[in-house]
Structure 1
Amino acid sequence: MALPRIDQIGEWNPQLFREIKGRLVPRNILIATAVSLVSQLLLLMNFSSQLPVPNESATAISNRYCTGTAPPYSPPICLADGFKGFVINWSLWWKDVFFGLSIMGIFALLVVGTYMLIADLAKEERRGTLNFLRLTPQSSPSILMGKMLGVPMLLYFVGFLALPLHLIAGLSGGISLSLILGYYGVLGTSCLFFYTLALLLGLVGKGLGGFQAWLGSGVVLMFLFAMTTMLMSSGSYATHSPFDWLFLFNPEVVLPYLMGSYSLDASTTENYRSSLQQLTYFSMPVGSSIGSIGGLMVLNFGLWTYWIWQAVKRCFHNPSATLLGKQQSYWLTACFEAVILGFAVNPEVTEWTSYNRGAFSNFQVLLVFNLLLFLGLIAALSPQRQGMQDWMRYRHQQRSVHKRGVLLDLVWGERSPALVAVALNLAIASSILLPWILFWPNSELKIPALWGLLVSSSLTILYAAVAQFMLLMKTPKRAVWAATSVGGLIVVPPIIFTFLSMTPMDNPGVWLFSAFPWASLETTTGITVFLAVIGQSLAFTLLSLQFTRQLQKIGESDLKALLSGRSSVEFR
């Protein structure tokens, strides 16, 4: 006997069945239907109100949707149609409807969907049912996929009801069905990326109470709002710098390609598509067509969804484990540097800017992105106190450690401290950036760039030592202490230097001890860089020695500590 369709879903994914059964109730369906239909009606009424209305005045009427001649920086003049109305450019009107509906859909799917997923995991954590899900015989991918498909189910239903109007608007505006389907593909992969990121934030942000849902969705909202503001204005935003990478996380980027010469601002003739056509990746014009930009966006979403998914699986299966394994971090760093470098190798060159100047500016931006990357790696690789204690106490009993030695276990081990792994990640990043710097045509800025690579690496390993040292604290808030300490080292020095009017131009030496040493590289000297690196290395050495001493103490067995005449020393 054939099972009903809903029971077939339960056989395929019990978690999805659980979510559907709890959410698709008649009351919720009616509310979702009303929200979708009312939103579409309001959108149509808004654009209908923008159509030109005949009046008795002799003054010529101008309107965006008219078909007459267009004076400079003004909408076209309206032409009478002989029926007491005007000839309307319906194709443009339907394109506006398509664009407005697309923007609404992107904001709803990404912002509201992110909020729903994070809030659902927070609720599961409060009720204690998340641990129950971990103990079920389902695999973690099955549970997590059930969450991603089931939690925003009502949101999907709202979008499904808006799909007919969206297709009608696009086809009536002269957009081919293949381009619309391509846009749906980009939007789908963007949802997969943001929803996977939402799962990760929901799993690691349990200490924030219910605030993590507002925080995660708020960040997505601000990002989309900034990108939409750029999309609705005129000008060129392809900067030929690593910042161009951020375009690949915005599904709105493909919309101008669908609509051709198009601008929401009726007083301008510039369009966003022409600026995006300047986008290059390793000197390849990826912005020249919708196929290349859309394909690159799908690959970018897919790559980073994969890495976030690895962290989500580890965190869901074992909440006390690090988010990434050390071997995974090496591949992640290599992927990140290869991706971000592609947007930096072809800098913008003008009559005031040489290639070296543009490349050095891009290198400074790369250092900022690398700082963010390594802050994330420090958080993802640093084990908690209990993990380091178990590793220190029982490592001599582990066959893998005995077989490959302590040094190799620091490189590959799961519970070993992260300092060696962070140093290796820095070496990987530097080895990818170094050839690019050495191949700059002239040597005037090569030396400052090499200094920047050295100083930023020594600062990063110092931040890692501070974070790992703070994670040995006995207090349950040690993660907060570690984040606060590293954040203070990054934020406080520039604030103090600015307050004391110590600019990078006048006092370059002190800025080498901030998180932004690249600001003073062009005005500093080799001896100043040498002294700064020596000072940072000395601080790192002292922290490492103290860290090793404390690690040895907490690794002592209770019996050994008792026989030695003291209780097991706890670092506070």
Structure 2
Amino acid sequence: MTNSVLIDRLGNWNPQLLRELRGRLKPHTVIAAVSFSVIFQIILLLIASPNSRPVPESCWLDLWQIITWMLPYVTFTLGSYWIVNDIGQEQKRGTLNFIRLSPCPAWQILLGKMLGVPVLLYIFLGLMVPLHCLAGLQAGVSLPLIASVYLMLPLGCAICYSVVMLCGLVSETQRTGNPPQATAFGVGAIACCAIAPLYMSWNTAITWRPLLANSEIFGYPHPVVSWFLLPINNIGVVSHTFSLVVLGTTAFLLWRILLRNFNKPRSTAIGKRQSYAILAGVEVLALGFFLPTSVVDEQNATLAAISMYVLTVMLLLVLMLTICPQRQALLEWVRYDSPGWQSLIWSDRSPLLVAVIIHLIVASALLVPWLFWIGIGTKKLVETGLLVLCTTNTILISATFVQQVCATKIRNPMGWASCGFSIWLLLAPGMLLYWELIPDRIPATAALWTLFGYGFWQFYKPTAIPFVGLGILAQWLFLAFLLRRFQKTMQKLKVGT
């Protein structure tokens, strides 16, 4: 009777979660998860104490470190694989669209997937919590650090699973009918090689640093980290508040984007309003971290300026791909939407170029004052101006190229756009580097490097400044050619040819 009441309450709160649990919590699967967890813990204990003697404190510390590092890596990797594979199977069977039409709100369906699909993994890791806590206490790890590990893990899972579910929903691989296991494997690899290391690096450097007495997680102490000259990892309350605000905001934005993609599967991955907010937030966060090191001397300031240049370009390229409308959306916009600046700025079906200009204005409004604050803008005024011009031209060229490709009637336009990016921003400069055609040896080659978007050579080689100007002129000519081609494409879409 009690179990029936609990099941009814769970079904009323989240029917999708109940569906996932019923499909996975079979007696044999639960027994297998429990058995694997117990066997794995026995193996860990045998490794820590091979002679059946009391486990020494150093071995308890090793055991604590192993499980601490294993928690995010195993949870993120296997959980991501299972979630994306489940979404792919749902798409392949056609049941995902059926779920969308159900009366359940999107948040219930997505939350049910996050909590229900990896439930066997949660059982496996949950049974390890007592051993993990015991190992930490025996090794002298403080209770606040143990509690913080389990406080941050759900937040990390929310971020990771939101990212991978977004990848699963917008994946072109799954839409073209290829095996969903391939996409799931790739997303799991990203979670293991990128998301989990970033999660551990952030927490060990910022969140947990005030709680680390010796080497509970890392074998060396981390330096003090400042954000806009304010230390954020000296006091536990400050470090946890900062991490919870940053990671919580990230999780909230990802959740909103995920809900949007689930409700509007044929729209762009991110709305233009969301992209403006993401750009401003990431830029402010990065500028705060770069400021303390950049005000020390001119060399650090130059390195900080180049680093922010690279980060801004990469972020703008990613946002550009996520807000770029496809051919059908452009066709509907040019024929049915009311023309005007508001539509160009806010509509998800409008062309990309005006939104990219707004992104550049937002980035410049934050970066240019910062460049003068750290002294680069006053000491190297010409170089700073050329760098801003080169960045602007590179982003506009990339945006026009991507929109032109997406407006063309071809299969998998994002694949072609990514290939073009690789050739323009990576392959061509790589060939120049292979042939040793660099401004340090031949100043005239700065024109070619600037054309391909690498206009920061003049910071270290003032003799390259005139050639950087030639490169910027070449960028303008190429941009004019691309804009003319895109204008003709939009005219063809308008008349229906």
- Global fold match (TM > 0.5): yes
Moved more, 146-155 or 444-453: 444-453
Counterpart in the other structure of 1:218: 189
Moved more, 535-544 or 35-44: 535-544
Task: Confirm whether residue 516 of structure 1 aligns to residue 469 of structure 2.
Answer: no
Deviation track 1:392-428 (CA, whole Å, cap 9, x = no partner) reads 0112xxxxx3xxx522311122210011101110110
**Matched-pair contact (CA < 8 Å) for 1:186–1:294:** no
Shift of residue 170, structure 1, vs aligned partner: 1.9
Shift of residue 89, structure 1, vs aligned partner: 8.8
Write the letter of the residue equivalent to 2:69: I
Distance verdict in 2 for CA 1:218–1:520, change over 3 Å: farther
User: What SS does the corresponding residue of 1:288 show, helix, strand or coil?
Assistant: coil
**Matched-pair contact (CA < 8 Å) for 1:451–1:521:** no
Task: Confirm whether residue 158 of structure 1 aligns to residue 124 of structure 2.
Answer: yes
Rounded Cα–Cα distance in structure 1 between residues aligned with 2:217 and 2:365: 45
**Matched-pair contact (CA < 8 Å) for 1:508–1:521:** no
User: What SS does the corresponding residue of 2:128 show, helix, strand or coil?
Assistant: helix
Shift of residue 21, structure 1, vs aligned partner: 0.5
Deviation track 1:292-321 (CA, whole Å, cap 9, x = no partner) reads 333333222212222222221221111110
Counterpart in the other structure of 1:102: 68
Write the letter of the residue equivalent to 1:214: F
Counterpart pick for 1:425 among 346, 359, 370 = 359
Distance verdict in 2 for CA 1:387–1:334, change over 3 Å: same
**Matched-pair contact (CA < 8 Å) for 2:449–2:471:** no
Task: Confirm whether residue 379 of structure 1 aligns to residue 321 of structure 2.
Answer: yes
Write the letter of the residue equivalent to 2:311: F
Rounded Cα–Cα distance in structure 2 between residues aligned with 1:248 and 1:434: 32
Shift of residue 206, structure 1, vs aligned partner: 4.0
Counterpart in the other structure of 1:450: 385
- TM-score of the superposition, structure 1-length normalised? 0.79
Rounded Cα–Cα distance in structure 2 between residues aligned with 1:434 and 1:550: 35
User: What SS does the corresponding residue of 1:292 show, helix, strand or coil?
Assistant: helix
Counterpart in the other structure of 2:341: 407
User: What SS does the corresponding residue of 2:265 show, helix, strand or coil?
Assistant: coil
Counterpart in the other structure of 1:301: 247
Rounded Cα–Cα distance in structure 1 between residues aligned with 2:6 and 2:56: 42
Rounded Cα–Cα distance in structure 1 between residues aligned with 2:382 and 2:431: 28
Rounded Cα–Cα distance in structure 1 between residues aligned with 2:238 and 2:58: 25
Counterpart in the other structure of 1:77: none
Distance verdict in 2 for CA 1:206–1:23, change over 3 Å: farther
User: What SS does the corresponding residue of 1:344 show, helix, strand or coil?
Assistant: helix
Alignment of 1:320-469 (within 5 A): 320-347=266-293, 355-395=297-337, 401=338, 405-441=339-375, 443-469=378-404
Q: Which has the larger radius of gyration?
A: 1
Deviation track 1:468-503 (CA, whole Å, cap 9, x = no partner) reads 000111122222222212222111221221233201
Task: Confirm whether residue 26 of structure 1 aligns to residue 27 of structure 2.
Answer: yes
Counterpart in the other structure of 1:197: 163
More helix by share: 2
Shift of residue 131, structure 1, vs aligned partner: 0.9
Write the letter of the residue equivalent to 1:535: A
Distance verdict in 2 for CA 1:167–1:248, change over 3 Å: closer
Alignment of 1:471-486 (within 5 A): 471-486=406-421
Write the letter of the residue equivalent to 1:260: A
Rounded Cα–Cα distance in structure 2 between residues aligned with 1:361 and 1:89: 48
Counterpart in the other structure of 1:170: 136
**Matched-pair contact (CA < 8 Å) for 2:294–2:304:** no
Write the letter of the residue equivalent to 1:216: V
Rounded Cα–Cα distance in structure 1 between residues aligned with 2:200 and 2:388: 26
Counterpart pick for 2:215 among 262, 286, 294 = 262
**Matched-pair contact (CA < 8 Å) for 1:257–1:290:** yes
Counterpart in the other structure of 1:538: 477
Rounded Cα–Cα distance in structure 2 between residues aligned with 1:205 and 1:520: 40
Rounded Cα–Cα distance in structure 2 between residues aligned with 1:143 and 1:547: 40
User: What SS does the corresponding residue of 2:23 show, helix, strand or coil?
Assistant: helix
Distance verdict in 2 for CA 1:452–1:437, change over 3 Å: same
Counterpart in the other structure of 2:146: 180
**Matched-pair contact (CA < 8 Å) for 1:32–1:157:** yes
User: What SS does the corresponding residue of 1:517 show, helix, strand or coil?
Assistant: coil
Rounded Cα–Cα distance in structure 2 between residues aligned with 1:48 and 1:489: 56
Counterpart in the other structure of 1:268: none
Moved more, 124-133 or 470-479: 470-479
5+ long unaligned stretches in structure 1: 54-84, 228-245, 266-270, 396-400, 557-567
Rounded Cα–Cα distance in structure 2 between residues aligned with 1:272 and 1:502: 41
